[in-house]
Chain A
Amino acid sequence: MADLPPTTSVRRWLVTTNHKDIGILYTITALFFLLFGGVLALLIRLQLWDPANQVMSGLAYNEAVTAHGLIMVFWFLSPFAFGFANYFVPLQIGADDLAFPRLNALSYWMYLFSGVLLGISFFQGGTLDAGWTMYAPLNVPMYTPSIGSTGAVLALFMFVVGVTASTVNFLTSIHHSRAEGMGLMDMPMFTWSILATVWMMLFAFAALLAVGLILASDRVLGSVYFSATEGGSLLWGHLFWFFGHPEVYIVFFPALGVMLELFQTFSGRRLVGRKWVIISICLISVQSFLVWMHHMFLTTINLEIKTLMMATTIGISLPFDLLVFALIYTLIKGRIQFTTPFLFAFGALLLFILGGITGVFLGAIVLDYEFRGTYWVVAHFHYVMFGGATALFGGAYYWFPKMTGKMYDEFLGKVHFVVFFIGFNAVYFSMFLAWETPRRVYEYNPAFQGMHQAGTIGAFLLGASFFIMFYNFAKSYVSGPDAGDNPWDYSRTAEWAISSPPPLENWPNRPSYASGKLEFVKDYVPDGGPAVKADEDGNAVTDGGDSHSEHIRNYPYWDKHPSHASIWPILLSLATGIMLLGLSGFNNSTEFHFGDSVSQFSVEVLNPVYPTLTVLGLLGLIWAGWKWGAEDFYAPPSEFGERWPFEGVEKVKLGMWFFLASDVIVFGAFISAAVFIRWNAGWMSWEPIPASLPGLINTFVLLTSSFTVILALVAAHRQHRTGLLASIGATMLLGFTFLAVKAWEWWEKIYVDGVYLATVPEGYSAIQASVYFVTTGLHAVHVIGGLLIAMFLFVRAYRGAYMEDGRPVEYFGLYWHFVDIVWVFLFPLFYLF
């Protein structure tokens, strides 16, 4: 499907893969979730109007608090920022689109349907009520038994899958598609902030994916990780906060990028200390992974590590100081224009400073003992995360003219800011004053009633302020004055150099910064080859056969027009959503009876709805995935892009390596969990559950399959079709052999030794069985995924594919070898140690 319907067609918005369309979809959907989370916030504030109020039951209050946190952190803040990132990062780097347009659409639809799943969870016996941090053991079915709780966990899992795809996409785009002459240090500050954000996301969200998978396993399959007395709760803390602290900056950095952009535009001054600001952003990104245990000061982790984490936490405030001073000094040196975008950006800085300072208190162990679990924490993180995000509303006003071609109403914008700022401080500063109120408890000391009532009034004011913005945007879109291409006096990024809104493929000719400023150059396109650079007269010029020319020549379909539409992202996401909806109630709807032998194994279906949804979703997923692979969708790389530091690495290969890096963290988290739990239980108190021989056999099987995959690649390079088919076929056979040995091994454990996920005879511990089955099971799922891809390749190779272009075989090999490497470590961990 290559034709893109017009914007007036609903179909356009279902099939589009264009980055600007996806950006608009993200922005509007995120604003919907702002309303969703906002209504929950107002319910919370109504409950707190009076310490004896009964607006909600205790359970409903807990659900509202949990869903409010989850929605605002995951479904509003970052997606709102990534709406702008989708729209403007490709424009700011001079690209035609993101590197993988279909993957971009998939990320959006995963995001949307995951939000739908979360909404549905309210109607599945109540959603999760364990707080947005989902601390163990509150997060296990014993304490949160509703199907909706599982639904919310799976919704988060689905969201993270979409985020992972988006992360890989942005990293590949920024490192692969920058216009000629645009070095990393030349990138606009908003793009820089997004680059730092996605680098953090690559690793942080992989940890969340792992911990989400483990929790899903506890809830759906019945493993006992987070209820284990061998450190289950602490394990959650470590894995969650390894993600959770970088997440603070993941949320804040895009807003910081908007702030940096807007301060420059509305002070008419280039950012002071620009190089040092970029260095600070990089430093913070690294440091964000070194502080996570300051969220665990009240747990039983030892004092030495707490002290170390206190030091690293204080250390992270230093580069932030530099950022703040750079922003302030830029204003001092410039001539400020007090427009609505600037007011929001400046307000964000003030709010963030207060949030940052109050956070330093929490980084000190002794003070944290006092403040932890109180409204101090609630106030602090709202000032940081929502305070920072205030700049995003500035971004909305700033870029509204570019996205719509219309100018917003400046007066209404300023009214919005004033009402927003007063409401914000009324609701959140009152929390500092009533800080002794225990967090997440709906009854409180009547002495704080005045402060809480002020907070409630502030919350309604804050909520109402957004309707001013919605009205302003709607009115301006319908009947506002034309904004022109560039309504700002001192904007300097590339999006302002083209029409408002920009055309589908962004540029009149190829953007280039080779001369030091933005130019649109016309390339020479010979018959039978890719575009080459042209001189002023339009004649081809040679550039010595550099790496990107070779890179383009690898694309045999160079003369095709780029595609902008595909139905498969939405269908793939829909199928995933249906499958996960089914899985949410799977455990409650089925009973597995193992019996004494395999012949006695039976499944009792108590409620057919959820298992049916699971099966339908899974089949739909496989079907849509297959069609996705077979679709003729063309998204060529930029022809003369700057690629540092990944020069010479082909686009899809680079994306694959980013994905594998993220998968290293996923498996790293699973292996860390196994080591952590075993260390807690006493390392030598565990004997391997399975015999070593089947593990060794499977090691040989997987190593041999890696060898056959590399032979397949060699055959593809040599255009040896029979060799290619034989090698892929052998790989499949070996993959099935691996699964057969694994099945036999599990059969023996279950039927001979009586060991299952949480059912063990004397001599074993339930958590050991859980760790063994879940970790090796996850690996087996990877093998199954690889086999599905191998089957796809086999069918395509049989039809004659990969003779001209063997790269898909290489990409599959990268994945398959990675699965092999994981087994290299799982074998000793579970079969030998």
Chain B
Amino acid sequence: MASDSVKLYTAIYVALLVLAFSKFVFFEFPEYFTYGQAFAGTMVAAAIKSVLIVGYFQHLRWENKSLTYLMLLALGLAMLLMAAATYSIT
């Protein structure tokens, strides 16, 4: 059963705002972060945000694990397409 706690959802929301802002910061201060570092940091932040939204706002954390595997399968195939296609022209 999914949570009905407004407090929990508010905490998640605040975490999402902070993570969103961190992506902006990575690229606004090139004197502190190289492009590679900013890229990696942004992708990590994006991944964490996605997990938080899927896990809590979409309630996947409380659902049957098979739904998680379903979405991971779709994500894996999309990543495969991107990686293999891009690698094919290197």
Residues of A within 8 A of B (CB): 203, 207, 231, 234-235, 238-239, 242, 289-290, 293, 296, 300-302, 305, 645-649, 654, 657-658, 660-662, 664-665, 667-669, 671-672, 675-676, 679-680, 684, 692, 696, 699-700, 703-704, 706-707, 709-711, 714, 717-718, 810, 813-814, 817-818, 820-821, 824-825, 827-828, 832-833
Contact = CB atoms under 8 A, between A and B. Distances in A.
B85 A828 contact: no
B50 to A, nearest CB: 5
Residue from A302, A648, A703, A820 whose CB has the most chain B CB atoms within 10 Å: A703
Contacts of B43: 828
Nearest to B67: A657
A451 B82 CA distance: 43
A289 B78 CA distance: 11
A575 to B, nearest CB: 30
B53 A302 contact: no
B64 A646 contact: yes
Contacts of A833: 39, 42
A710 B12 CA distance: 11
A289 B73 CA distance: 12
A813 B85 CA distance: 33
Contacts of B73: 203, 661
A668 B84 contact: no
Interface in B1-57: 4, 6, 9-10, 13, 16-17, 20-21, 23-24, 26-28, 35, 38-39, 42-43, 46, 49-50, 53-54, 57
Contacts of A810: 59
What's the dominant secondary structure at chain B's contact region? helix
B27 A242 contact: no
Nearest to A670: B78
Contacts of A658: 70
Given A648-B64, A692-B27, A824-B50, A817 B57 contact: yes
A706 B87 CA distance: 35
A300 B89 CA distance: 7
Contacts of B13: 703-704, 706-707
B4 A657 contact: no
Contact of B86 (A648, A679, A684, A696): A679
Interface of B: 4, 6, 9-10, 13, 16-17, 20-21, 23-24, 26-28, 35, 38-39, 42-43, 46, 49-50, 53-54, 57-59, 63-64, 66-67, 70-71, 73-75, 77-82, 84-90
Enumerate the 5 nearest inter-chain pairs by beta-carbon distance, A residue then B residue, closest first. Answer: A668-B78, A301-B88, A664-B74, A672-B82, A661-B74
Given A696-B20, A714-B9, A675 B86 contact: yes
Given A817-B57, A821-B54, A700 B86 contact: no
B71 A664 contact: yes
B37 to A, nearest CB: 13
B87 to A, nearest CB: 6
Nearest to A818: B58
A699 B75 CA distance: 21
B87 A711 contact: no
Given A645-B64, A692-B27, A700-B20, A238 B88 contact: yes
B17 A692 contact: no
A711 B21 CA distance: 23
15 contacts: A289-B80, A302-B89, A654-B67, A657-B71, A661-B70, A671-B82, A672-B82, A675-B82, A680-B89, A700-B17, A707-B9, A707-B57, A711-B6, A824-B50, A827-B23
A668 B6 contact: no
Given A648-B64, A703-B13, A668 B82 contact: yes
Nearest to B9: A710
Given A203-B77, A238-B88, A289-B77, A714 B6 contact: yes
A684 B79 CA distance: 21
Contacts of A293: 84, 88
A688 to B, nearest CB: 9
A676 B67 CA distance: 29
A814 B57 CA distance: 8
Nearest to A661: B74
B88 A302 contact: yes
Contact of A824 (B46, B63, B90): B46
B66 to A, nearest CB: 4
Given A293-B88, A707-B9, A817 B81 contact: no
B5 to A, nearest CB: 8
B1 to A, nearest CB: 10
Given A203-B77, A699-B20, 9 more contacts: A207-B81, A238-B81, A238-B88, A660-B71, A692-B28, A703-B16, A707-B10, A810-B59, A817-B58
A646 B21 CA distance: 37
A696 B4 contact: no
Contacts of B87: 302, 305
A67 to B, nearest CB: 28
B6 A665 contact: no
